[in-house]
Structure 1
Amino acid sequence: MSSTQATVTSPPKTRFAVSEDWTVVILGGLIILLAIAGFLLPVPVFGWSNPAELTAKVLNAGNLGIIALQFLLVFTIGGLGASLIGKPLKSYLLVFPVVYVLTILALILAGNQQVKALNLEAVIFSLSIGLIIGNFFKLPDWFRSTLTTELFVKIGLVLLGTSVIFSDILKAGSLGLIQALLVVVSVWYLAYWTCKKLKVDDELTMMISSAVSICGVSAAIATSGAIKGDSKKLSYVISMVLITAIPMMIFMPYVAQYFNFPQEVTGAWLGGSIDTTGAVVASGTLVGETALKISTIVKFSQNVLLGLAAFAISVYWTYTKHPNSQEPNSKPTLGVIWERFPKFVLGFIGASLLFSFFISPETTAQVKDSLKNLQGLWFALAFTSIGLETNFADLFNKQSKKPLYAFLIAQTFNIFITLVIAFVLFGGK
């Protein structure tokens, strides 16, 4: 870290401050409860194919009004969060509208029909816009320090739990869960071992291992939260996930068709090896209805393991990276483990259990679109913020080659081992 970076101090906290993770649980729970109570915001339209359609569908007064209402909600929720964790509200009032406008621009760009055909996700654009502005314009230190990246990310993760419905997964039987467990364990260990052999640092090792083996972007984010990782490293891992997902999404269905793989096997292969849910759905659609169904079930099964994985990683990290460096052989107490445990995982699991066993299917159907829209918005806000606070030199430097090699080796292993497991479990169907 440079001397100039080291002198940047965190904003002073208010007398009353809640930990960030508990704040996220509170705010995520508040959003969910408001939705269940009937406070549902319409979902803005961002899809367009030509300038005329952009004006007519996206930039019309009605849709801009919905975007403004959405701003008021997330602005209020984010302001409450900033206040609870001790961020200066005056700075937040100036910074958040800028982040929101840039994020909406990213969502509009991602809504283009040609862009959608390439399955380029909105977070790519929000990250890119943030990186361009953050690197070509000198932003003041108070602006960067006000960005509440972790808060946005973790709220999105809590809302992600509302879409992980156990009953949907169990309807397809146990094979999807069995495959997910086998893939996650084998690929995670191989990725971890590869990173260690290449001397990748510990934070990147954990993020890469989780991203490749579990569910891509969401797993990298959850792992970063569990180990309190560097957002710049998280940005790099997510860039690798998104970039590699595109060729996998395009070429894997054609490989399956060329070798005449059964649709069940192809679906399990796609769902277990491609790291983003959007790319899984797109590639499954290229193969057929059965492949799409199986690929989605397998991917959801991996998502179910996200909370358990984050818990295990947080415990492991606490035991191996505990703060008492004077006594390296000492073990942290249960109190230390609980203190360092990522509480947002409780929000994720709680939301999943709530929508799996306590909320009626009718209510779930009513609120799912609104909550999914807000989940994607919080993630996009987070990646705009990551871009604004990240320097290109930090993101792409000589030290980034070894993590890239480790990621590609692990992803290649993931492709082949998942195919073998898919044939073993689904080949007889």
Structure 2
Amino acid sequence: MSTTTTKLTLHEDWAVVILGSLIIILSLAGLLLPVPTFAWKTGADLTGTVLGSVNLVKILLQFVFVAIIGGIGALITGKSVKNYALGFPLVYIVTILALVLAGSSQAKSLNLEAVIFSLVLGLLISNFIKLPEWLKSSLSTELFVKIGLVLLGTSVIFGDILKAGSLGLIQALLVVTSVWYFAYWVCKKLKVDDEIAMMISSAVSICGVSAAIATAGAIKGDSKKLSYVISMVLITAIPMMIFMPIIAHYFKFSQAVTGAWLGGSIDTTGAVVASGSLVGETALKISTIVKFSQNVLLGLAAFAISIYWTYTKHPSAQDKETKPTLKVIWERFPKFVLGFIGASLLFSFFLPPSAAATVKDSLKNLQGLWFALAFTSIGLETNFADLFNKNSKKPLYAFLIAQTFNIFITLAIALVLF
């Protein structure tokens, strides 16, 4: 007679909700990690500040904290804790190198975000060095991404958007709905596969990188497809950030209209802030309000997308002829969305502003770190041939067409409202 032992493990989404909540609770309880500095302009800044002993201690403390959280995640989801302990230091070191590169004044002037450096460094390593299978199996891409998304909820504050005025929220609603459906329609016309179509539609219409990540989590999308969509978002944001203020100046648009146009059409928050700053204070304020209004819609969009995906895609054998029941919907529903919405509601309505302000920087830093770790992991498990294959032209065409539509429809709405 043979005996088997059953190892009790949690679904990854529930593990993410637990770990994200744990990080927030520890922060509110006073465990605030010092935020390392990665910004530098000269070699002296790099060696004296970024690589100085004080900053290196902060980076080490951050490593210990994140490694423990990730280790708990590996344990409760049934992954090899030993492999994780051996592989995570490599992921962290590569990620820190990416953050240092992104902190240079040249990278900041081009608004190149840390995640693109994480992805590129990971790709270079995986394509020029044969990585052992145990290392690849130790990568916790989904776990890192979703923890970052739960923490992202702490910065999506409903009250700030409502105080800032209704026009920004109205514009955000109009832009998100019209651009999302147009982008999805274009993807279907070009026969882009469903996963990339959903990611492109959300990225173009809502808030770029975060929306693409949230959508990939909601539909359990392929991380390689996600990395391709993220690359398109970050690359196209650069010329838009530079040329849209020039176009607005040429046509003598008001700062209010220009700000609403920039905030509604440029996909990354950093690029919105940079381009708004080029125009003026009013443009910067309105562009930020519009972009934040779109960010608020992220949790609702992820919820709606997950329900749609459950009803229409990949039915199981027993329910191909019938629609899923509420039980099936709940089983397939991405639970990390609950963590995102819960964090947003907590920081929007239940925490005193002073308490939220105390933990804001620490949580924002950790959120960015988890995303960067995730994209390092994606790079380490991806080949260039998979990322830029011969079938990748159609998603690119769809993205560019949708982004062009986004630019014009957002400008029209901005002219009417502002």
TM class by shorter chain equals over 0.9
Gaps of 5+ in 2: none
What is the Cα deviation at residue 327 of structure 1? 5.0
**Segments ≥4 residues shifted beyond 4 Å:** none
Q: Which of 141, 145, 150 in structure 2 is aligned with 1:149?
A: 141
- Report SS of the residue matched to 2:316: coil
Counterpart position of 2:368: 376
- Report SS of the residue matched to 1:39: coil
Counterpart position of 2:10: 18
Counterpart position of 1:79: 71
Deviations 1:235-290 (A, max 9, x none): 00000000000100111111111111111111111111000111111111111111
For the Cα contact (< 8 Å) 1:167–1:356, is it kept in 2? yes
What are the within-5 Å matches in structure 2 for residues 118-157 of structure 1?
A: 118-157=110-149
CA RMSD of aligned residues (A): 1.1
For the Cα contact (< 8 Å) 1:176–1:268, is it kept in 2? yes
| Identical pairs, percent | 79
What is the Cα deviation at residue 328 of structure 1? 2.9
Deviations 1:31-57 (A, max 9, x none): 111111111011101111121211100
TM-score scaled to structure 1, two decimals? 0.95
Deviations 1:15-35 (A, max 9, x none): 011111111111111111111
Q: Which of 18, 21, 26 in structure 2 is aligned with 1:34?
A: 26
For the Cα contact (< 8 Å) 1:24–1:81, is it kept in 2? yes
Counterpart position of 1:424: 416
Which of 319-328 and 397-406 deviates more?
319-328
For the Cα contact (< 8 Å) 1:134–1:387, is it kept in 2? yes
Residue identity matched to 2:153: G
For the Cα contact (< 8 Å) 1:207–1:223, is it kept in 2? yes
Residue identity matched to 1:353: L
| Mapped partners of 2:63, 2:335: distance in 1 | 26
- Report SS of the residue matched to 2:7: coil
Counterpart position of 1:206: 198
Q: Does 1:219 align with 2:202?
A: no
Counterpart position of 2:232: 240
For the Cα contact (< 8 Å) 1:322–1:332, is it kept in 2? no
Counterpart position of 2:379: 387
Counterpart position of 2:184: 192
Residue identity matched to 1:226: A
Counterpart position of 1:328: 320
Give the count of matched residue pairs. Answer: 414
| Mapped partners of 1:288, 1:86: distance in 2 | 52
What is the Cα deviation at residue 359 of structure 1? 1.0
Counterpart position of 1:347: 339
Counterpart position of 2:252: 260
| Mapped partners of 2:89, 2:277: distance in 1 | 37
TM-score scaled to structure 2, two decimals? 0.97
For the Cα contact (< 8 Å) 1:210–1:216, is it kept in 2? yes
What is the Cα deviation at residue 173 of structure 1? 1.5
Counterpart position of 1:319: 311
Residue identity matched to 1:383: F
Counterpart position of 2:359: 367
What are the within-5 Å matches in structure 2 for residues 383-422 of structure 1?
A: 383-422=375-414
Which of 73-82 and 134-143 deviates more?
134-143
Counterpart position of 2:151: 159
| Mapped partners of 2:67, 2:203: distance in 1 | 30
Q: Which of 60, 83, 102 in structure 2 is aligned with 1:110?
A: 102
Gaps of 5+ in 1: 1-12
What is the Cα deviation at residue 62 of structure 1? 0.9
For the Cα contact (< 8 Å) 1:14–1:86, is it kept in 2? no
